[in-house]
Amino acid sequence: MGAITHVHMPARTHAHMQVSAKVGLGIEEVLEAIVDRVPAPPNTVGRPLRALIYDSYYDSYRGVITQFRVVDGSVGCGVGGLC
């Protein structure tokens, strides 16, 4: 039972929470604090597409498979030859 860890959430108040994933202590509270304190990312759908390709490989049946992260803008069916 010595797995209780004190987690400091950076915010204006210097509140500490007792959290232990091992025993399930404070899990709901820390998730609610994250939702309350961490701002949502900005909406960038209307901006020009910016993406980071972080992996690609060749599949003999499907061809080149590329994995990427969209930073700004959006990708959908019919955009850039998709679908």
According to DSSP, residue 20 is labeled B
Looking at residue 16, its pLDDT comes to 80
pLDDT per position as a tens digit, 27-83? 999 899 889 888 888 888 888 989 999 999 999 999 999 999 988 988 877 766 666
State which amino acid sits at residue 34. I
Structure tokens belonging to residue 45: 């759908």
Please say if the pLDDT value at position 14 is more than 70: no
Instruction: For residues 54 and 51, give the distance between their C-alpha atoms in angstroms, rounded to a whole number.
Output: 9
Instruction: For residues 48 and 75, give the distance between their C-alpha atoms in angstroms, rounded to a whole number.
Output: 10
What residue spans define the domains of the chain?
A: 5-37, 42-83
